[in-house]
Amino acid sequence: MTPQAEDRPGLINARPVRHPGRWVAVVVIAVLVAMMISSFVTNDKWNWSYTFQIMVQKPVIQGVYVGTILGTVIAMAVGIVLGIILAIMRMSNNFVLRGVSFAYTAFFRSIPRYVLLSLFAVGIGYLYNTFQIGVPFTSIHFFTLDYQAYSSTVWIGGLALGLSEAAYMAEIARAGILSVDKGQAEAAQAIGMSPGKTMRRIVLPQAMRVIVPPTGNETIAMVKDTSLFIAAQITLELYYQATLFGSRTFQVMSGLMAATLWYLILCSVLMVGQSYLEKYFGRGFGAPSAKAQQKLQQVAADH
Amino acid sequence: MSTTQHSGEPLVHAVNVTKSFHGNQVLKGIDMDVHPGEVVCLLGPSGSGKTTFLRCINQLESIDGGRIWVDGDLMGYADRGGTLHHLTDKQIAAQRREIGMVFQRFNLFPHKTALENIMEAPIQVKGEKKAAVRERALALLEQVGLKDKPSAYPAQLSGGQQQRVAIARALAMEPKLMLFDEPTSALDPELVGEVLKVMRQLAKDGMTMIVVTHEMSFAREVADRVVFMDGGVVVEQGPPNEVISNPQHARTKSFLSRMRQEEQEHVEHLLEAAQRKEPDLLADVEGGQTAAGPRD
Ligand SMILES: Nc1ncnc2c1ncn2[C@@H]1O[C@H](COP(=O)(O)OP(=O)(O)OP(=O)(O)O)[C@@H](O)[C@H]1O
Ligand SMILES: [Mg+2]
């Protein structure tokens, strides 16, 4: 016996569950935000116009480019390359390589970056005025470098931070490499690939899926750590330049806010970039994202 | 024991191969010759060393004793005046180019499309021109029945399709020898046939193959010779109809009867699956079967 059409349940039109607690929370937050905005606008001591002026001063902009951005790029480049090398050494069959990698990581993890930068600025210049590469215990040199010429530049600062970063990147890279199924390396070897090529073309690209997200976080942390450069007497850098303006004109707060806003902008851009990288290295793993599928459908519908 | 007489050199010549893992001897002196164009199926219970032996042939494992020659090359070592010297990683990689391997779990490169998986080795290992390799790769995809899937990533393919891409990837290096390690045992029963079909054609085209498999019907139909291994030794070998239909050793007998039972269950499983999908269609078939002679 089938029920008549009018007896069968139709569309659902139910009342939603009420959440009074959520509404209270929303109201409280709205009031707090309004108070904050009101204070930003009405309290003249914030002096926003001067903050924005500082942000676009030439030395400040140069500080952003050279100290913060170039410094981060150098430090992360050194950190990533050296970190991957350390990770591969750590997994080597040779116990000397394993030991060196372990000792390096232990050493650089223990030294605060501020102290490391100071050491690079003062210590190395004092101990080794010039770097020479040659045969040990002889006076044969192939290559000489004057340390003083670089000592207060972003190159030395980036190198110091990069050496420290490598210790952390090594762990991240190792986790990434270990996350790749062993069968991948075996399949690559079975088609005749050398171990080096297997690592570069098959294992590392897959490890990237695991490596990229934490590396993005490390990069964002590094942007902020370039504010330590003054420890190595590197002055062409955002934080130093912005606060210099502020203290010169007794508008300390404006200087600090100028630096803060710049860091906020830089880190936001990086976070967007990170999500794109994650998509790129995630290709071939799982179905395309809901958004990509939507896009594909749109493209199909447009035809 | 009757083996066909072959003229000329064997492609694979393994003598007294031994291999231990942490003191546990897994291969206890394996002798095996495989001649060009021959298809050899390796049978044996779990843990008998089939996979290990296959991996030793292309040096994914190093052997402790004995020698393996492939196409006249001593694998893994250079013999200089009676003294063996280890080959370098590069030299070992070069020896592997002659040998294709297909894994139980496919092991396709997930970050590359089907076509890129196939093109990888000829370009990266042999340094061939991209355009020529591309053409050959597309032809290989057609050969394995996947003409319409060049830009699919492995995750977008079924197990059977992945395994066929994996076969095409191995073939792209134009190997002299193909090793298969249970190529269908990770597949759903309904996908086994499409992979076996590709392998059958490959055998017909004259490829030299060593196949570890539990597919008795495949062994019976395609193999020139079956080799039964147990406990790290070759127990019995010969033409499939002799060894499979009339095994001489007790161990072979008990293994084969167990396999037959599994095969029976497997067929029943397939029928069940088909019935779930198309009950009407199968009812007819079964009606016919019942008329011809009832199954129990
Ligand atoms: N890497 C390894 N380390 C230690 N023991 C191993 C290793 N590989 C294989 N073995 C051991 O060697 C024996 C033979 O293994 P193998 O994989 O060759 O067997 P098989 O015949 O292929 O079995 P199956 O049918 O289950 O695949 C097993 O006891 C296994 O535990
Ligand atoms: Mg096995």
Q: How far apart are the first and last CA of chain A?
A: 48
Q: Give the one of B60, B89, B170 whose C-beta lies nearest to A194's C-beta.
A: B89
What residue has token string 């986790």? A175
Q: Three-state SS string across B135-177, please?
A: HHHHHHHHHCCCCCCCCCCHHHCCHHHHHHHHHHHHHCCCCCE
Q: Tell me chain B's radius of gyration from C-alpha atoms.
A: 21
Q: Judge whether B57 and B76 are in contact, CB under 8 Å.
A: no
List chain A domain ranges: 68-136+144-234
Q: How many angstroms separate the Cα of B7 from the Cα of each of B35, B36, B206?
A: 9, 10, 16
Helix axes B114-124 and B130-143, enclosed angle (nearest 10): 130
Find the angle CA(A278)-CA(A75)-CA(A202) to the nearest 5 degrees: 40
Q: What is the C-alpha to C-alpha distance for residues B172 and B165, in angstroms, rounded to an integer?
A: 10
| Ligand 2 (single-atom ion) residues, CB below 5 Å | B 51
Quote the pLDDT of residue B101: 97
Q: How many CB atoms lie within 10 A of CB A274?
A: 17
pLDDT recorded at residue A288:
47
Q: Where are the alpha helices (DSSP H) in chain A?
A: 20-42, 48-55, 58-62, 71-90, 95-110, 113-118, 124-127, 154-178, 182-190, 195-197, 204-225, 238-248, 252-281, 290-302
Q: Which CATH number fits domain A68-136+144-234: 1.10.3470.10, 3.40.50.300, 1.10.3720.10, 3.40.640.10?
A: 1.10.3720.10
Q: What is the pLDDT of residue A5?
A: 57
Residues from chain A that touch B154, judged by Cβ atoms under 8 A, are 284
pLDDT of residue B4: 52
What is chain A's Cα-based Rg? 27
The beta-carbon neighbor of B110 closest among A194, A197, A206 is A206
Residue pair B75/B114 in contact by the 8 Å Cβ criterion: no
- What pLDDT, on a 0 to 100 scale, did the predictor assign at position A48? 86
B114 and B141 in contact (C-beta within 8 Å)? yes
Residue B137 CA to ligand 2 centre (angstroms): 29
Domains of chain B: 12-273 (3.40.50.300)
**Chain A contact set for B109 (CB, 8 A):** 184, 187-188, 202, 206
Tokens of B153: 């990533």
DSSP per position, B226-246: EEEEETTEEEEEE-HHHHHHS
Distance from CA of B269 to the nearest CA of A (A): 29
CA pair distance A211, A104, nearest whole angstrom: 20
Ligand nearest to the CA of B55: 1
The pLDDT of residue B38 is 96
Residue B174: how many other CB atoms lie within 10 Å: 12
Q: What is the pLDDT along chain A (303 residues), one digit of tens a residue?
A: 455 556 788 888 888 888 889 999 999 999 999 998 888 888 877 888 888 999 999 999 999 999 999 999 999 999 999 999 999 999 988 999 999 999 999 999 999 999 999 988 877 766 666 666 777 777 777 767 676 667 788 898 999 999 999 999 999 999 999 999 999 999 999 999 999 999 999 999 999 888 888 999 999 999 999 999 999 888 899 999 999 988 888 888 889 999 999 999 999 999 998 888 888 887 766 544 555 556 555 555 554
Q: What is the pTM of this model?
A: 0.78
- Tell me if A183 and B107 make a contact (CB, 8 A cut-off): yes
What pLDDT, on a 0 to 100 scale, did the predictor assign at position B275?
78
What are the per-10-residue average pLDDT scores of chain B (296 residues)? 63 96 95 96 94 96 94 92 91 94 95 96 95 95 94 94 97 96 91 93 96 92 94 93 87 86 81 74 47 40
Which of B58, B62, B111, B133 has the most A C-beta neighbours within 10 Å, making it the best mutation to test the interface with A? Answer: B111
Task: State which ligand 1 atom lies nearest to the alpha carbon of B52.
Answer: 18
Please give the structure tokens belonging to residue B100: 């294709």
Q: What is the pLDDT of residue B295?
A: 42
